Structure 1
Amino acid sequence: MGGLFSKKKSRVTDHDKAILQLKQQRDRIKQYQRKVELTLEKERQLARTLLQNGKKDRAKLLLRKKKFQEQLLVKTDGLLENLEKLVHDLEFASVEMQVLDGLKSGNEALKKVHEMLNVDEVERILEETREGVEKQREIDELLSGALTQEDEEDVEAELNEIIKESLPEVPKEPLESEGLPAVPAKVPGDKTARERRRQEKLALEAS
């Protein structure tokens, strides 16, 4: 159970250790400089006091010591500048390494993609995509009724062909101008003729 809640330890590289050590040395030099600056100010005040008390030789000796420490302070400025530059270069190198690692990972991933998809495969996929887009555009045009004149003619021709194949040929009706007899107004054997024959039959039976 304890392993599940333990914090993951960060991996510290030699590069990180070197940067840390340089920063620690830089901080120690800065502390030394502050200490020397305070000492110089105290010795200057002490030399003034010695002169006031007539102790010129001791004041001169103290000022020589002060001068030596000032020279050391100048040297520490140079060391501090070199350390700052080195820390900056190492940190920037760390950033460059991270960028290179990212580029390496990206190149490896891209290489795997190239291995999976060769040029022929890409062309096939693009061709299928173009065909799918064209087919969808044709469907959209049909659904929206956006047919060209040529499309309308093709539809009409196909309709006539289906009618010709499916329906029997219907004969044309004769016209009166062709000399055919007209239809009689009264058809033989209609209701009036039957009534007349019935009355004649009844008259013969009565006689």
Structure 2
Amino acid sequence: MGNVFGRIERPSRVTEQDRAILQLKQQRDKLKQYQRKLTVQLEKERLLAKQLLKDGRKERALLLLKKKRYQDQLLDKTETQISNLERVVQDLEFAQIEVKVLEGLKIGNDCLKKMHEALSIEEIERIMEETQDAVEYQKQIDEMLAGSLSQEDEEAVLAELEAIAQISSVLKDEDVKLPEVPNEPLPPVPELKKERKPAEVEQDGEILLA
């Protein structure tokens, strides 16, 4: 049974720059493989030319060395191409980083712009004025308190502060013991005697209390 709703295709996170970088790296890796293979082949041909000279086959050795010389030039070109590919890959990767940095700066600038719109110049000036008024008011209070207390009052306040600090230090150092809760059961409460109501006696038409 097939999917009724169909398959939801999510947007790919791979960009064209990512694909280009991947292709360049694949080409670079292939060139490196060719470079290693050619290096091994050149070493074998160098040893073979040495053996041909030893066997007196100079013409054959000369032809082999000419071939080796051509392959050496190919090896140099391969090294240059690898370097160029690596340089292009690095430039593309760095360009991607620059794009991300620019995107981050754009987001930051948009946030700053919204914050500036939320706080207008008038609002900032009002807040600063209120802050300055609060500072001036506190300064006036401090000046009033400083002028209303004499030297003796200042010394009394400091002495009281020192006494409170000492009491707090003593209470902190000493453990305050609370009274223990008794474990023994409490004695029973005596029952109160009920008062007997006086009896009523009727005599000669009158009700008397006995």
When normalised by structure 1's length, the TM-score is 0.61
Distance 1:10 1:132 in 2: 57
Aligned partner of residue 53 in structure 2, secondary structure: helix
1:52 alignment counterpart: 54
1:65 alignment counterpart: 67
2:36 alignment counterpart: 34
Letter in 1 for 2:110: E
Identity within the alignment, %: 59
Distance 1:96 1:34 in 2: 35
Aligned partner of residue 147 in structure 2, secondary structure: coil
Is residue 2:147 matched to residue 1:147? yes
Deviations 1:101-123 (A, max 9, x none): 11100110011111111111111
Matched pairs, number: 140
1:93 alignment counterpart: 95
2:114 to 112, 117, 127: 112
2:126 alignment counterpart: 124
Deviations 1:185-204 (A, max 9, x none): xxxxxxxxxxxxxxxxxxxx
Q: Shift in Å at residue 21 of structure 1?
A: 2.0
Unaligned runs of 5+ in 2: 1-10, 150-210
Aligned partner of residue 147 in structure 1, secondary structure: helix
Aligned partner of residue 146 in structure 2, secondary structure: coil
Letter in 1 for 2:102: L
Distance 1:141 1:89 in 2: 67
Is residue 2:83 matched to residue 1:81? yes
2:16 alignment counterpart: 14
More helix by share: 1
The 5-angstrom pairing of residues 155-174 of structure 1 reads none
Aligned partner of residue 146 in structure 1, secondary structure: helix
Distance 1:130 1:148 in 2: 24
Is residue 2:111 matched to residue 1:137? no
The structure with more radius of gyration: 1
Q: Shift in Å at residue 10 of structure 1?
A: 8.2
Letter in 2 for 1:65: K
1:172 alignment counterpart: none
1:201 alignment counterpart: none
Q: Shift in Å at residue 140 of structure 1?
A: 4.2
When normalised by structure 2's length, the TM-score is 0.60
Distance 1:62 1:99 in 2: 55
Q: CA RMSD in A?
A: 2.3
Unaligned runs of 5+ in 1: 1-8, 150-207
Distance 2:75 2:66 in 1: 14
**148 and 27 in structure 1: CA distance in 2 versus 1, 3 angstrom threshold:** farther
